Amino acid sequence: MIELSGERHLDQAKAKVLAFVSDPNLFSSCLGNTEDLHVEQNGDFRAKFKIAIPKKFGVSYLENVSATMSFKLSKGPDAVEWEGSGRTVGVKLTIVLRLDVRDEDAGAHLSWRASMNAAMIERLLGEQNLREIASDVATPILECISTGIGP
């Protein structure tokens, strides 16, 4: 199990941040490398996207893998959680992303926590390498959230 977390200040009101991260059309636009996206009426979504695995890890046959996942939304007054399950390279993958938002002077404070269970992939690549890949995926998602909310 890989776990990542972080915090950042956003120059937007808490309500606007929560609205962005809980809207599947807006939030899914931050996933990057999305090949296919289907938003359900209940706010859940399914996506197929590519994950780049750097050559330095020595698994050239996995350089650019596809993941197909379904994401379910849970939300509260101060938090949003996206729980994803699916498959990549023939193995099960689960991801949980929790975004906690609180009011802060001149904006909102975003605390996030992501956990990923990809046991077979972790055995293949090693925990540290998988952690690096997960971080490389998470960073642009958070940048997109930060910049995508708009004025």
What gap in Å lies between CA 25 and CA 143, rounded to an integer?
17
CATH number at residue 100: 3.30.530.20
Higher pLDDT: 113 or 129? It is 113
What gap in Å lies between CA 129 and CA 92, rounded to an integer?
18
Name the residue range of residue 47's domain: 2-148
* Structure tokens, 83: 């729980």
Coil, strand or helix: which one is 54?
Answer: coil
Structurally, the chain folds into a number of domains equal to 1
Band (pLDDT 50/70/90 cuts) for residue 99 is very high
Does residue 90 have a pLDDT over 60? yes
What gap in Å lies between CA 108 and CA 80, rounded to an integer?
14
pTM for this structure? 0.82
Band (pLDDT 50/70/90 cuts) for residue 60 is low
